[in-house]
Amino acid sequence: MAETIHVRGEGGAVIAMDLPLPESIQERLDRGAIQRVNEDGSPYYAAPAPAPKAAASKSSALTDGLVPRPGARAGKDDWVLWAMAVHAIPETDAEAMTKAQLQELPEQPAPAARAGDGRPDEAADKAAWIDFTVRSGRMSREDAEAYTKDDLIALFA
């Protein structure tokens, strides 16, 4: 029996699809035109990959399973793709951000204190709550920054 996944199409509808995906659909998923989501439309977070074995030689960010941060002179498109891959920021939100805002994002997202839903601990700083709010699709980064940390926490209570 084929594994079924759910994707949010360009129009916003959540569609169930069997794997393997048709080549044209897989290409759209790979470039971020459509996103994989849970059945209810909430963001999909894949299970973390097993930690790679320690190598005897010097390893790079790629061999550690991390997406390397673009260089300072990289184009905005590279920064948008990096933000989508590392911080799970929706494509439209990432494209709406300036290159400077994308460059201000941390190297890796703050680890979530709650394993089930990805919410940061209430003791986490406001930036972690803004990142979570944006990743969950509740609002844009600019809107989230206008709220206090307590307001953001209350949104997810």
Tokens 């079924």: give the residue: 4
**pLDDT at position 113, please?**
42
**pLDDT at position 114, please?**
44
**pLDDT at position 96, please?**
92
Are 6 and 39 contacting, i.e. CB atoms less than 8 angstroms apart? yes
| Per-residue pLDDT tens over the stretch 19-43 | 888 898 888 888 888 888 888 888 8
| Per-residue pLDDT tens over the stretch 84-132 | 888 888 888 889 999 999 888 888 776 544 445 678 888 888 888 888 8
Are 130 and 124 contacting, i.e. CB atoms less than 8 angstroms apart? no
Please state, for a pLDDT cut of 70, what percent of the chain lies above it: 82
Residue extents of the structural domains in the chain: 4-37, 76-155
Asked whether the predicted pLDDT for residue 45 surpasses 70, the reply is yes
Distances (CA, A) of 15 to 11, 40, 45, 93, 103: 11, 10, 17, 22, 33
